[in-house]
Structures are given as structure tokens and as C-alpha cells.
Amino acid sequence: MRKWTLMLAPIGILIAGLMVLYLKAHPTIGAVRPELFLGLSYFPWLAAAILIAFFVQGVLIHRGMDHLIFPTVLLLASVGIVEIARLKPALLAPQLRWLCIAMVALLVVLRLDSCIKRALDYPYLLGIACVGLLGLPLLFGTEIGGSRNWLVLGPMSIQPSEFGKILIVLFLAAYLSDHRRVLTLPSRRILFLRLPPVRFIAPLICIWSMAVLMFVVERDLGSALLFFGIAVIMTYMATGSRSYAFIAIVFIAAAAAISYTAFGHVRVRFDIWLDPWQDPNGQAYQVVQSLFAFAAGGVWGTGFGFGHPGFIPEVHTDFIFSAIAEEMGLIAALMIMACYIMIFWRALQITLACSREREMLLGAGISVLNLMQAFIIIAGVTKFLPLTGITLPFVSYGGSSMLSGFILLGMLLSLSKEQKHG
Amino acid sequence: MADRKLRKQILQAASACMALFGVLALYIVYLTTWAAEDLSSNPLNMRSAAARADIWRGTIYDASGTVLAETADDGTRRYPFGKMMAAVTGYNGENIGSTGVEGHANRALLGLTDDMQRMGPLAQLLQTGRGNDVRLTVDANAQKAAYEGLAGRRGAVVVLDAETGAVLAMVSTPAYDPNDIETNWKVLSKQADGALLNRCVQGLYPPGSTIKPMIADAALTEGATDEKEVFDCTGTLDVGGGHTIGESHGEVHGKVTLRDAVTESCNVTFGTLGMRLGDAKLKKAYERFGFAEGIGEDIVMEQSHLPDFGKLSNGDQAQVAIGQGTLLVTPMHMALLADAFANGGRIMKPYLVQQVVSPNGMVVSETQPSVWRTATSPEMAAIIDSYMERVVEKGTGRAAHVFGVRVTGKTGTAENPAGADHAWFIGSADLPKRKIVFAVLVENGGGGGTEAAPIARRIIESLA
């Protein structure tokens, strides 16, 4: 029974939040009638999402997989959905639909877990697929919101980088586990650095370069930072070599310095971070408004539906954390962050219980990826780090982001089944 | 073992990630607590203004429920009476702030209470989307009579309920139109003593002869004279140092008692009394009637400008006793002086806001009349009141006479450096429903009996 009660929190938030919004929109007494309720355009999707969620939890419990992570992820998703419904009511139904699709994708991943594990046998194929996927926007990309990282396919627009991150984690896990011993073999010393032959670190250099390329050409600073960070951390996890970390930091510092001098948009981001009050109504408008949102929220928040997060452009995607902090306060902000930490901690437990190196690396990669993405965007909207546009996993509006998040989650949960059997 | 090494490295990297995340959490705590105050008060922060704009500002009503200010469907503020009510309603503008009742009752009109800000989301339980309504003491008819009585001349009229201090009318001209003040703001704000000045409570004028009832009170109270003493008015009074005080229009009143001196507004008699009283007793009288004090809250009245008591020459003392010299008072204060004699010696505290009513009709607060100060004894008040009654019956204030109503009054024709004399009339009227007191001032209007008293008559008729 305890395995099921966890589902109460996300479903409760979802229903209570939507009820509040419904009552706010229909303040007259007597407006709450069942038939009106059933007539809501999002109602079918809401019902479907709840049913699928229970089904997924049922599958997880039945198969003896981890049953704590999924409700926690769902909790984040329900907070996101409720806030999206308050910010952009028109996007509520699409977001619920994406949640349904993502949960179905999760089930598919759980079903195909053996295929995915087999894919780990072909690291170079994964690497090439990843490069290919990330390269697509360069050829066919469309610029949306200042980043040229979108592919428009008919009525849908997808962000290949969201799916690229799945491939990159798979690639790194496969490649690093195959070459762990070679990579840690000190065959050459340059100054105080101990480096293996160039041909072994070439793929890593390749990934790093790709990240920088995205940084510069696609203007997708968030994804670039994420890819680069995950590559560095997974390399360290696999090899334990500080030389790699050092090289990576030198590499990114050099790349950042070059792009700062050479590219205007990078310079603008950095200058905004250093001093947003230089141009608070122009370039730094978004960040300044976000800071005002945090200040307005204070500890307890203004109350759900009573803040003014609408002052922040793009508040429902990248800046949703600011909206949550404004309306639900520091309390909610810290709870959201605690959710990411709990997911991370639980994912690490799954990872450490794995028996095979590549699965261990895969699990660690997914755990770090999730936490790092949350870190990058939360740090961005609070001006802790320069702002880089990226979604808050499971919370922000966006199909690609939701889908890739749940696919990664599926892969992680598959690993939790592993620990029972072996 | 390699496996163990891998686990160790994973844990190391994971710990680093979590530590970074923890630092970020601490930073957010800092941002929402320590840094919040500065950010909230940043002039670029539009959130508090937006929060106020979200609230449907309440309606301002007069005593009988006539709308004086309301929020239209498009969110703009409408003032049906425009200039006529400007001194009462004040204005409310996004960029220019607010004054008058709009300013004083701002929080009530927005439905805010003091400790809401610290309550976070709980405040939403108390906050309605619609602010409270405010019901004033003002009578739109009296206000109209006063405004029309001034007929475009510069001046001020204050009418109070004698027994409660409730403001029945408050007119200041020239007036601004609160409906379009924001567009005219640049011009209005540059005028030194223009429409933005509420003359009733901020305008300072020499009171002239309207101060004589108080001097009569002081002279009787201090024993400087009695009701039987006969003064001999020769038309001029030698105040020493080669200076004299004369009567207006060169009149000679001959043998007069104090009562006659009030009726005929005899400068010679009051100049004599001023010199007899001397600095200390004059000062005491002015303080007794509250001229050294202002008033706050909904009636923000300036304190009067009193002469430098203690350093006055005989001539100055005589001038102060006939309301000239460096003495400057507000029209509101002269209405309060009239109240002292009409209300048995007690001056009521003037107020404008009778009730604050919540959107669902609940009375949030109700103003109870209170005594501002006890200026004189009931017996003394009755004597002076009878003198003032005679002013309207037989003296200089006959123009204020209304058939069937007991009206008291005192005229004033105040010399001033700005030009023609200011016309004053203060007094009271015993109406069937209530007793009122009033002060009428017409700037540079000429004689109080001919210019100001008829306006008082008009107001009395409007309320009768």
C-alpha cells in the first residue's frame, strides 16, 4: 500500500491546483457542476494522464523496479502543469498530452530495455548518431527564441538537442566503459598532466568540440554547457583522472574566452550576468524581472495565482522556476530542489547497485544529467551563473524536453530491475 | 578492485554535484530573504503597482449615497462632480500619487490592511478583488451651493456639522478637474498658489474682523472688560508711536458696549481690548482656541501663523485683536472657531470619512465624533453666540439672514498685501435637522458683509 500512497502527492497537487484555477475563473456560486467539469477541454487528457500514471506505477511495482523515483518525477511534472495552467491556460492541454505521450514512451523503454542495453555494444554508432542528430539543426534548423536549435516538422517543432543528450549519455557510457583501462593508462606526461595516446581521447575531444560548436553556431548555450559538463563528469567518473577534468576546464575556458571576444551574443549574456543593472529594460530585462519575482515571492510566496510572473518573457518554459518561486515562495523553490536531489540520490543508489560497469556509468550519467540540467537553469534564472536557455526537467513546458526526460527515466528504471536479478 | 574504484569515483563526482546544488539553494535563500527588500523597492519593479492595479478601487459616496468617485469598467477613475468636489475627493493618478480622500483613504479603497504584507499567501484570504467603498460626511447639495456661490472667484468654503465636526462641504477655488488631472499635471504643478492648493486647509489668510468674537471671549474671560463697559468710538484709535487704527469707511460708532462693538465690528473697541490684554493673554486666547495646532488624518490642516507674542508693540497687539498684522489662519480653522461658540464651547474634530464599507455591505469602520478641544465655557459661548446672532439680525451680517432660521455670524474684511480686501464670513445656522457652522472666504472679494455673507445664506438655504 505504501508503494501507492506516494502517488497521492502528485495527483493531489494536480487536481487541487486545477480546481483552484477553475474556481478563480468561475467565481460565482453554483458554477461547479459536474457536467461543466466534464466539458473542460483538458479533462480527457487529465483523466488519461492520471490513469497512465497509475498504470506505470503498477508496472513498476509489479516488475519489482524502483517505485520512488516515478512519483517524485510526477510530483515535479504536476507542479509544472499546474503552474503552466495558471500562466498559459492554452498550453495546459498540450502539456497534459505530452505527459501522457512521455509516460507511454517510458513504458516502451521499459519494454525494450534489452535492446537499449544491446545498443551499448556499439559506442561509435551511438556517437555518430549523436553528432548527426545534433548536426541536423545546422542544416535544417529554424531559429526559435534566439536559438537555432529547432527542427520544424509539419505542425511539430522538436529540439534535437533534447534527444541528443540521451545518445550522448549512452555513447559516453559505452565508450568509457570499453576504454576505461586504456584511458587511465599513463603513457605520456606533459608537464604535470598524464595523458593516454591521442587516439583514445579523440572521441572526447570530439564531443567537447561539438558542444562548443553548438555554443557558437546554434546559440544553444544551455545545451552546450550541459553536454560539455556531462562529458567531463562522466569521464572523471570512469577514469578518476584529474588530468581530464583539468584539460576540460582549460578547454572550456579557452572556448569561452574566444567566443566572448568573437561573438556578440555570448558577450551580451556574460555582461548581463556581471551587471544586469546596466541595461535592466533591454538585454537584461528577463533576468531582472526574474530577480524581482524571487523578491516578490519571499519565503511564503504571493499565493498561487496572485503573483505577477507575466512580467517575465518566456516564463512558462525556461523561467518557470521563477514563477513558482514568486507564487509559492522559497518553500516551494526549495522543495522542488529537494525533489531533484531525492531523485538524484535514489538514482545513485540504483547505479551503485548495478553489476556491470557500463550500466553503472549509464545510470550515473543519467542521474548527473538530470541534476545538472536543473542546476544550470535554476542558476541561470537566479543570476547565480550566466543565463543559458534550457528547460527545467519535467517542469517546464515542452514536448521534447518531457519526452526525453521520461525516456532517460525509463532507462534508469530498467537498471533498477537489474539489481534484483543480479 | 576496479568496481570499487568506479563506485568511489561516481560518489566523488556525485558529491561535488550535490554540493554545488546546495550552494545554489543557499543562494536562493539569500535572494528571497536578505536581497528581497532591495529588489522589491527597486523603482523598476512594477509588481507592487501591478498588485494595486489588480484591485478594483472602491467607490466614494457622499452622505446621501451620491457617487463622488468611482472606477469605470475600463479601470479609469471617474469623478462625476469634477472640479466642484476636487477639494474633497482629491485625485488618484498612477504617476502623480493621490491626495484628498483618495490619498487618505487609499488603503481602505484598495481593501488593504496594515499587517497584510507580512502574511504572504494568507493575505489572499483577506484580500478581495474589490476594495472597500468609502462614505463621506459631505452633502453634495451644500457643496454645490458653496461652489456656485463662489461663482468662479478665488476662495474657500468650509461647512461643518456643529455637534459632530462632520464636514458637510469643503470647496476651494480655483479647482482642478480630477478627471483629467494627469494630462494637465505639468501646467497645474507649476502654479505657485493655483488649483492644487486646497485653500480650506492649506491656505493662510489674515482673519480680519472674524477673529473679534474670540477677542471678546478673551476680554470677558480675562476680566479685561465686562458686558456693561461703554467704549467711546471716535473713528480712530491712537496706538502710540504715531500710529493709529481706523474704522472701515471712516465710520464713527460713538458709545458702544462690547455687544455693539461685535455687531458693528468696531475696530477701536477691539484695538483697545487687544492692548489691554497684552501679549501673554492674547497668546493664551489663541492657544485656547487651537490656533497653534494643526490637524492630521483625513483633514490635514496647517497650523496658523501666529504673531511673535512677547515682542509685540501696542500697535501690533491692537492689530492682532482685529485680525490683521502677521496673523494668518486657514478657513477650516475659522469654521472651528465658529463651532466653539455654536457648540457650547467645545470644538469638534472635523472629519470627512463617515464609514468604510466592504463590497458585501459590511461596515468595516465608522467614525465617532470626538471633541478636538474645549475652548471656552458654555456660559461664555452662549454670550458670544448671542452677540453673533445680533450681527446677522442688525449688524454687518444681515445678508446672511434666512427667514425662520436662527443664523449667527461675524463678517470680516481683511486687508492684505496681495490686493483688494479678503471677504470673510463665519458663523452658524440652527437648521431643523442639524446645527451647522461655516467659514466663507472670497480672496480679494471686498467686504465680508456684501460678498461672503450671501454665500453663507445660499448654503444655509441648500441645507434647510
User: Does residue B428 lie within any of the structural domains?
Assistant: yes
- Please give, rounded to a whole number of angstroms, the shortest distance from the CA of A393 to a CA of chain B: 15
CB contacts of B40 in chain A (<8 Å) are 292, 295-296
Cβ burial, residue B306 (10 Å; 0-12/13-18/19+): middle
Residue B145, beta-bridge partner list = none
Q: Tell whether the model's pLDDT for residue B253 goes beyond 80.
A: yes
Task: Note the pLDDT of residue A154.
Answer: 65
CB contacts of A382 in chain B (<8 Å) are 24, 27-28, 31
Task: Note the pLDDT of residue A306.
Answer: 82
Chain segment B10-31, per-residue pLDDT in tens: 999 999 999 999 999 999 999 9
Average pLDDT score, chain A:
85
Q: Check: CB of residue A217 under 8 Å from CB of residue A146.
A: no
B185 or B350: which leads in pLDDT: B350
Q: Is the CB of B24 less than 8 angstroms away from the CB of A340?
A: no
Task: Note the pLDDT of residue A422.
Answer: 39
Task: Note the pLDDT of residue A186.
Answer: 61
Note whether A340 contacts B: Cβ–Cβ < 8 A.
yes
Residue type, B411: T
What would you report as the CA-atom Rg of chain B, rounded to the nearest whole angstrom?
29
Cβ burial, residue B370 (10 Å; 0-12/13-18/19+): exposed
Q: Is the CB of A325 less than 8 angstroms away from the CB of B10?
A: no
Task: Note the pLDDT of residue A307.
Answer: 84
Of the candidates B11, B13, B28, the beta carbon closest to that of A382 is on: B28
Mean pLDDT across B106-115: 73
User: Does residue B100 lie within any of the structural domains?
Assistant: no
CB contacts of B18 in chain A (<8 Å) are 341, 344, 371
The CA-atom distances, in angstroms, between A206 and each of A57, A131, A201, A209, A417 are 39, 9, 9, 5, 33
pLDDT band at B182 (very low <50, low <70, confident <90, very high): confident
Q: CA A69, CA A351: separation in Å to the nearest integer?
A: 13
Query: Residue B233 is placed in which grid cell?
Result: 468710538
* Minimum Cα–Cα distance from A291: chain B residue: B39
Task: Give me the domain span that covers residue B297.
Answer: 156-463
pLDDT band at B1 (very low <50, low <70, confident <90, very high): very low
Q: Tell whether the model's pLDDT for residue A85 goes beyond 50.
A: yes
Q: CA B82, CA B409: separation in Å to the nearest integer?
A: 30
Positive or negative: CA dihedral B272, B276, B278, B283 = negative
Mean pLDDT across B332-337: 96
First to last CA, chain A: 26
User: Does residue B392 lie within any of the structural domains?
Assistant: yes
Task: Note the pLDDT of residue B341.
Answer: 96
Nearest to A83 by CA among A71, A100, A72, A95: A95
Cβ burial, residue A10 (10 Å; 0-12/13-18/19+): buried
Angle between helices A399-421 and A92-111 (to 10 degrees): 30
- Helix-strand-coil split of chain A, %, nearest 5: 75, 5, 20
- Please give, rounded to a whole number of angstroms, the shortest distance from the CA of A216 to a CA of chain B: 26
**What whole-number percentage of chain B has pLDDT above 70?**
96
Chain segment A29-67, per-residue pLDDT in tens: 666 677 777 777 888 999 999 999 999 999 999 988 888
Q: What is the ipTM score, two decimals?
A: 0.91
Q: Tell whether the model's pLDDT for residue A210 goes beyond 80.
A: no
Chain segment A340-353, per-residue pLDDT in tens: 999 999 999 999 98
Least confident of A153-162, B64-73, B183-192: A153-162
Query: Residue B185 is placed in which grid cell?
Result: 499635471
Task: Note the pLDDT of residue A387.
Answer: 84
Note whether A379 contacts B: Cβ–Cβ < 8 A.
yes
Note whether A16 contacts B: Cβ–Cβ < 8 A.
no
Chain segment B349-388, per-residue pLDDT in tens: 999 999 999 888 888 889 999 999 999 999 999 999 999 9
Q: CA B389, CA B384: separation in Å to the nearest integer?
A: 9
Q: CA B392, CA A162: separation in Å to the nearest integer?
A: 92
CB contacts of B51 in chain A (<8 Å) are 302, 308
Tally of domains in chain B:
1
Mean pLDDT across A119-139: 82
Tell me the pairing of strands B353-357 and B363-366.
antiparallel
The CA-atom distances, in angstroms, between A421 and each of A107, A154, A350, A354 are 20, 44, 13, 10
Chain segment A287-346, per-residue pLDDT in tens: 899 999 999 888 888 888 888 888 888 888 889 999 999 999 999 999 999 999 999 999
3-state secondary structure of B233: strand
Q: Is the CB of B36 less than 8 angstroms away from the CB of A295?
A: yes
Mean pLDDT across B221-234: 92
B-facing residues of A in 151-210 (CB < 8 A) are 180-181
Dmax over CA atoms of chain A, in Å, equals: 79
Note whether A295 contacts B: Cβ–Cβ < 8 A.
yes
Q: Tell whether the model's pLDDT for residue B121 goes beyond 90.
A: no
Which stretches of chain B sit within 8 Å of chain A by CB?
Answer: 2-3, 5-14, 17-18, 20-21, 24-25, 27-29, 31-33, 35-40, 42, 44-47, 50-51, 119-124, 127
Task: Note the pLDDT of residue B184.
Answer: 85
User: Does residue B113 lie within any of the structural domains?
Assistant: no
* Minimum Cα–Cα distance from A362: chain B residue: B10
Of A279, A285, A315, A384, which to mutate for an interface test with B (greatest number of B Cβ within 10 Å)? A384
Chain segment B420-446, per-residue pLDDT in tens: 899 999 999 999 989 999 999 999 998
Q: Which residues does B45 contact at the CB level (< 8 Å), separation at least 6?
A: A292, A295, A296, B39
Chain segment A224-239, per-residue pLDDT in tens: 888 888 888 998 888 8
User: Does residue B302 lie within any of the structural domains?
Assistant: yes
Q: Tell whether the model's pLDDT for residue A420 goes beyond 70.
A: no
DSSP B198-232: -HHHH--B--GGGGHHHHHHHHHHTTS--TT--EE
User: Does residue B128 lie within any of the structural domains?
Assistant: no
Q: Is the CB of A295 less than 8 angstroms away from the CB of B13?
A: no
Q: CA A348, CA B7: separation in Å to the nearest integer?
A: 10
Q: Check: CB of residue B173 under 8 Å from CB of residue B155.
A: yes
Identify the CATH number of the domain in which residue B426 sits. 3.40.710.10
User: Does residue B30 lie within any of the structural domains?
Assistant: no
Q: CA B100, CA B199: separation in Å to the nearest integer?
A: 12
* Minimum Cα–Cα distance from A357: chain B residue: B3
Q: Tell whether the model's pLDDT for residue B122 goes beyond 80.
A: no
User: Does residue B53 lie within any of the structural domains?
Assistant: no
Mean pLDDT across B97-102: 85
Least confident of A147-156, A283-292, A411-420, B275-284: A147-156
Of the candidates A238, A303, A311, the beta carbon closest to that of B124 is on: A303
Burial A179-203 (b: 16+ CB within 10 A, else e): bbeebbeeeeeeeeebbbeeeebeb
Chain segment A155-170, per-residue pLDDT in tens: 677 888 888 889 989 9
Under 8 Å CB pairs connecting chains A and B tally to 148
Q: Is the CB of A295 less than 8 angstroms away from the CB of B31?
A: yes
Q: What is the pTM of this model?
A: 0.67
Q: Is the CB of A311 less than 8 angstroms away from the CB of B7?
A: no
Q: Tell whether the model's pLDDT for residue A146 goes beyond 70.
A: no
